[in-house]
Structure 1
Amino acid sequence: MGSSLTDFIEDNRAAIFEQWVDEMKDVQSDRADKVIADNVYNNISAEFIELILSNTFQMNASFVAKLEDVIDRIVRLGWPLTYLISGINKLERIIFDKYVAQDNETSYLKKDLFYEFDEWLTPVSHEIIEIYSRSLESTIGLQKMALQELSAPLIPVFDKITVMPLIGTIDTERAKQIMENLLQGVVKHRSEVVLIDITGVPVVDTMVAHHIIQASEAVRLVGTKCLLVGIRPEIAQTIVNLGINLNQLVTKNSLKKGIETALEMTNRQIIEVEELQ
């Protein structure tokens, strides 16, 4: 970028940013997370624009590293890529209008100025798109892993007794995750009894029942007994109407009764103790 335009940006940086913030209010509704605090939005916006304005020469590794850091935070806050690109476009127009409005620059060819802006901001825009895409892909991957872990957690409740509470619908992919977590978990916790709690599963059809039976058979092969708990009346009626055979599974209508049974299966029981007077 020419030294004249660079000096102009440096001398008018505060005014440029102030106008940019004012004009970006029209597109703030595009932000995915509208409940974010204003001070957080203003701070990150200021950091983003200051970084762009500081890069008036060829991009270097330091600039790219700082840009990656800012965009990573922007992605985690849920701001769309279109918001950033709109910000760059508005920044370009603001600087262009202010620059050509100078009395001492009337002879400056607009065509040459367009070339300078293109040479400066086009590579920056491309870098933003690439970094945003990488960061978004990484974030989605981490979220998917977290959701998979939460979708079929195995919780030790007593020595040798673990519970897997299931909530929501069960598809083939989730059934596979349930199977993996069960097998790994019962070995890790040395479980003798595992309870699969379907209280939060809205529908139990033939496919869901088949997956549960498969899971119980798998843990039985590694020496663990499986109980199916949380069978509500409507679920029981559905199972009967579909002709699903759960005879090979011990079933209970609540987690409480399931834990009592699991304790008995491990030679323990719950005893009420009278309070001392």
Structure 2
Amino acid sequence: MDDKFKRIALENSDSIVQMWMEEVDISKDDNYTTTISDELFESTNREFVNVIFTSIKNQGSSKILEDFSEKLVNLGWPLSYITDGLHIFRRVTIDYILSQSEQVDSAFISNVLQSVDAWVEPIIRQLVNEYSGSWENIVSLQRLALQELSAPLIPVMDNITIMPLIGTIDTERAKLIMENVLEGVIKHNSEVVLMDITGVPVVDTMVAHHIIQAAEAVRLVGATCILVGIRPEIAQTIVNLGIDLGKFPTKSSLKKGFQKALEITNRKVETISSKEEIKNMLKSLNGE
């Protein structure tokens, strides 16, 4: 009996597709796909229904289901698009088969329901699993990318590096800051690390503790940590919390911090006002 119903569905796929497209199109106005262009919506719907019929005909095709679910993830379409579409397909297919049959008793209806469910349920499971796997993979890659950007140590001059911190600092990010700053100091042979907290919105006891730990770790590996970006409200908070930053140089701006870093590394910025001075400096650098 299942083969009979499957043959009816496959031989009349054009009619079922038309019914399915009409119902899915109606749902567009009330759900997550309202912002999607009509052309993309229609082309994706046609691809979706082709995937369904191909899977029914071949009794499941993992590759085509994997490719389609990955495409939806990349487009940013929600999982509910898959589940809603398959439920609509199930309903219109059952309605079509019943409409083509003269015998419509309870046993016959039960057979139709069981047969169509046997086609649709495996597709739902496979698509949901593939979609979830693709989504988790993308989220994992994004998390790694954000971690790499969340605490970068940037070399700006020989022996001087800067770590700009932006956003909230939690325990997990503090651990990443510690790892990056220690690895970076060794890698870049840093004598001075400028830790810029201008972009950190809140400095409470926990954040200050993490910053002090990182600065202390820098000191233990033989470098100096200068804390820059101390805004008036942050300075007041640090004082009110009774936090001691006396061990580490602090500056209100990155510019002042960089000037301090130059002093520590026995360098300074000089203004050159004439071509003759430039020539003399070049000669000096060249040992002439």
**TM-score category, normalised to shorter length:** 0.7 to 0.9
Query: Do the aligned residues in 2 keep the contact of 1:30 with 1:83 (CA within 8 Å)?
Result: no
Partner of 1:106: 102
User: 2:56 is paired with a residue of what secondary structure?
Assistant: coil
Q: Is the 8 A contact 2:194 2:228 kept in 1?
A: yes
Deviation at 1:215, TM superposition (A): 0.3
Query: Which residue number in structure 2 is paired with residue 115 of structure 1?
Result: 114
Question: Residue in 1 aligned with 2:86?
Answer: 88
* CA separation of 1:128 and 1:199: change in aligned 2, threshold 3 A: same
Aligned pair 1:178/2:174, yes or no?
Answer: no
Distance in 2, Cα, partners of 1:187 & 1:177: 16
* CA drift at 1:38: 4.2
The change in CA–CA distance for 1:36 and 1:198 in structure 2 (over 3 A counts) is farther
How many Å apart are 1:11 and its aligned residue?
Answer: 4.2
Larger radius of gyration: 2
- For 2:188, the equivalent position in structure 1 comes to 189
Q: Could you say if the C-alpha distance between residues 227 and 34 of structure 1 is closer, same or farther in structure 2, counting changes exceeding 3 Å?
A: farther
Distance verdict in 2 for CA 1:147–1:26, change over 3 Å: farther
1:233: Cα distance to partner? 0.8
What residue number does 1:22 align with? 22
CA RMSD of aligned residues (A): 2.4
Q: Structure 1 residues 42, 264: closer, same or farther in 2, change over 3 A?
A: farther
* Alpha-carbon spacing, 1:45–1:150, altered in 2? closer, same or farther (3 Å): farther
Within 2, Cα distance between the matches of 1:266 and 1:45?
64
For 1:104-134, what per-residue CA distance to the aligned partner results, in whole angstroms no more than 9, with x for missing partners? x323622222121122111111222222222
Shift of 1:239: 1.1
The Cα of 1:230 is off from its aligned counterpart by 0.6
**1:192-207 mapped onto 2 (5 Å cutoff):** 192-207=191-206
* Structure 2 counterpart of 1:247: 246
Whole-angstrom CA distance in 1 between matches of 2:134 and 2:72: 10
In the alignment, structure 2 segments of 5+ residues that lack a partner are 276-288
Structure 1 residues 161, 15: CA separation in 2 closer, same or farther (over 3 Å shift)?
A: farther
Cα distance in 1 for partners of 2:266, 2:59 equals 70
Q: CA deviation at 1:25?
A: 3.6
Identity of aligned residues (%): 49
Return 5+ residue gaps in structure 1 as ranges.
none
Which deviates further from its counterpart, 155-164 or 193-202? Answer: 155-164
* 8 Å CA contact retained: 1:68, 1:131: yes
Q: Which amino acid aligns with 1:56?
A: I
Please, what TM-score do these two structures have when normalized by structure 1? 0.87
Q: 1:161 to 1:12 in 2, by over 3 A?
A: farther
Deviation per CA, 1:199-240: give whole Å up to 9, x if none. Answer: 111111121111111001112222222111111111111111
In the alignment, which residue of structure 2 is the partner of 1:149? 148
> In the aligned structure 2, how far is the partner of 1:43 from the partner of 1:190?
56
Partner Cα distance (1:207, 1:5) in 2:
66
Deviates more, 1:50-59 or 1:228-237: 50-59
Give the CA deviation at 1:2. Answer: 4.5
Aligned to 1:78: 76
Q: Which residue of 1 aligns with 2:45?
A: 45
Q: Which whole-Å CA distance do the structure 2 matches of 1:128 and 1:91 have between them?
A: 14
Are residues 117 and 265 of structure 1, via their aligned partners in 2, closer, same or farther at CA, if it must alter by over 3 Å? same
Q: Distance in 2 between matches of 1:258 and 1:13?
A: 71
The amino acid of 2:227's aligned partner reads L
Moved more, 149-158 or 175-184: 149-158
- 8 Å Cα contact 1:152/1:166 also seen in 2: yes
Q: Corresponding residue for 1:55?
A: 55
Given that residues 30 and 80 in structure 1 are in contact (C-alpha distance below 8 angstroms), is that contact kept between their aligned partners in structure 2?
no
Q: Which moved more, 1:160-169 or 1:133-142?
A: 133-142
Does the CA-based 8 Å contact 1:220-1:226 persist in structure 2? yes
The number of residues matched between the two structures is 271
1:13 matches 2:9:
no
User: Which position in structure 1 is the counterpart of 2:67?
Assistant: 69
Shift, 1:149, TM fit: 1.9
Distance change in 2, residues 1:225/1:59 (3 Å) = farther
